[in-house]
Structure 1
Amino acid sequence: MGIILRYVYLIYGFFLMLLVGLIYAWSIFVSPLEAEFGWNRTETSFIFSISMVFFCLGGLASGNLMRVFSTRFVFLLAAVFLFIGFGLSSRVHELWQIFLAYGVFCGFGVGITYNAVVGTMIPLFRRKGMVSGLMMFAFGLGGMILGTAVTRIILLQGWRTTFLGIAIADALFLTIAALFIRSQKMVMPEEIESDIVAIRDYSGMEMIKSKNFKVYLTWMICHSITGLMLIAHASPMVLDFGMTATFAAFVVGLVSIANGSGRFLTGVFFDRNGFSRTMFTVCAGSSLGTILLIIYFGTGFLPILITGCVIIGLFYGSSSTLTINYVRTRFGSKNLALNFSIATCGIMVSSTVGPTLAGWIRTSTGSYFLVPIAMLGFAALMFVMAFVLRRRESFDDMSK
């Protein structure tokens, strides 16, 4: 494959990740839905949790499908799920309907797309940390770029029309991808040198049995809980502080930019500094962000709130990039698509615990004050797991 075609793939892959990254802007839909149907914060938070669970299942399905079917089939399948999911979301009247439409269909479709794009793009380039970070950057940035536009469309046309428009756009651009992006096995160039440092390629089951992987998975779950407690509630949290809907959308956008930037910067940082140093940097950054949120509740100083949200978004964004590079360097590249999708299944736990716990705290206490305190507790657990993993890790025997 020529270098020009590789970059054409990369650019379109970036765009696709930007498009499906809108799933992280769920909080924009929370207020309109609660206003129309009278749903409480715990219920609307659970919708996001369901979507994250099925996002993981979609990624797992995609990893297996790409071993058997062409990329064309996988992209078309994603187009079908997203068209049905967002299309049905525009017609809901009951809570269970949005659970099914947005939570199940949209989450599953985004997961399929996410893993298909990542699994196709990374083998094409030598600087895999940077390329993976770029893809994750686009996924995180989608909430900012498209979230701002979606907020305006909701104000002008309503949330039903907005959901329908997203359904059409997703189906259209994924169908285009299916027509011109060839299967990973067909496009992976032999001349590109590998930077894999794993001593051999591990199957999915072998990776799951690794005790080191279990420690890392625990770290990743704690990290994701810390970030998702904010991301899933960013807009309603800001509204609770008496801010306008426009300012809330602005904060959501900043978090999305930080989220996306963290994914890219982590890839670059990983390439230069390695896994352990990157992991501890993420622990420190996540802790700092939550501490700033706690300080804001005591001072009401707006710049502290904005800074805290941005820092949390920045370091939350590092999770997916760090995970794919951990899996790639420790367990090999042969089964990367499948193994990465297995690793991301930890989000099923964090996306259930994080947003739901934050919503429960808000519903029970009438305030978000205890949310950053809970986040700080999970950040402390991140440090514990990072120290355990550093002591255990050995390239000579990954199963220890």
Structure 2
Amino acid sequence: MSAAGLALIAQAGSFAGIIADNYSSETIAFVVGLISIFNGVGRIFFGAVYDQMGRKKTMLLIAIIFLVTAATLILAQLKGSFIFMIIAFIAAGFSYGGITPTNSAFVYSEYGQLHYSENLAFINLNLLFASFGGTISGYLYDYYGSFLSTFFAMLLAGTLSMFIVFLMDRTAKER
């Protein structure tokens, strides 16, 4: 999901420029900035959710919001809807913001305090690979001439993450 989130972040300005072509550049910049604002809100929110609801429910909630985000982005593209785009950018930032505190809490709860900093550094290596999400989304846009391919890839990433959460839960019970 990190790669899919970074893919949207990389393409948000271009996508907003197409959907909101009759709006000022300041308005477009503000709307794109909503992703970052709600990323911060999501970090705080999902940290608290993790403490209250645990790993599985938190990860599923993040994945569900991410799936709603991708579906809303598809609707925004198909309908040329500025409102759907704003809703999707807010939801994208919010759900993407949940990944970092969830990763941190997961590493601590799964592996404990011993070597926590090393384990957290290792889990954060995902961002090295996730950083190619923006590049891949650029290639998809160039090849298909639309952002829909990126948004469908985001749907796939959200679905895959839900599957992994269920798989993780099953393997945790087997231990």
TM-score above 0.5: yes
Inter-partner Cα distance in structure 1 for 2:121 and 2:45: 22
Which residue of structure 1 aligns with residue 119 of structure 2? 339
List structure 1 runs of 4+ shifted beyond 6 angstroms.
Answer: none
Which residue of structure 1 aligns with residue 162 of structure 2? 383
* Number of residue equivalences: 173
Inter-partner Cα distance in structure 2 for 1:369 and 1:270: 32
Q: Which has the higher contact order (CA 8 A, sep 6+)?
A: 2
Contact persistence 2:77–2:147 (CA under 8 A): no
Contact persistence 1:294–1:369 (CA under 8 A): yes
Give the partner amino acid of 2:16: V
Which residue of structure 1 aligns with residue 40 of structure 2? 260
Which residue of structure 2 aligns with residue 295 of structure 1? 75
- Identity among equivalent positions (%) equals 27
* Structure having the larger proportion of residues in helix: 2
1:124-139 maps to which residues of 2 (within 5 A)?
none
Which residue of structure 1 aligns with residue 63 of structure 2? 283
TM-fit CA distance, 1:369 = 2.5
1:44-123 maps to which residues of 2 (within 5 A)?
none
Inter-partner Cα distance in structure 2 for 1:307 and 1:269: 21
1:209-288 maps to which residues of 2 (within 5 A)?
223-241=1-19, 242=21, 243-288=23-68
> Aligned with 1:232: secondary structure?
helix
Inter-partner Cα distance in structure 2 for 1:297 and 1:261: 26
Give the partner amino acid of 1:227: G
1:354-393 maps to which residues of 2 (within 5 A)?
354-393=133-172
TM-score (structure 1 length as normaliser): 0.42
Q: Any unmatched runs of 5+ in structure 1? A: 1-222
Give the partner amino acid of 2:164: M
Which residue of structure 2 aligns with residue 219 of structure 1? none
Inter-partner Cα distance in structure 2 for 1:364 and 1:259: 29
Cα-Cα RMSD: 1.5
> Aligned with 2:93: secondary structure?
helix
Contact persistence 2:16–2:32 (CA under 8 A): no
Residues 361-399 of structure 1 show CA distances to partners (whole Å, capped at 9, x for unaligned) of 2222333232211111111111111111111114x84xx
TM-fit CA distance, 1:240 = 2.7
Contact persistence 1:236–1:248 (CA under 8 A): no
TM-score (structure 2 length as normaliser): 0.92
Give the partner amino acid of 2:8: L
Inter-partner Cα distance in structure 2 for 1:363 and 1:247: 26
> Aligned with 2:95: secondary structure?
helix
Contact persistence 1:234–1:248 (CA under 8 A): no
TM-fit CA distance, 1:321 = 0.5
Q: Any unmatched runs of 5+ in structure 2? A: none
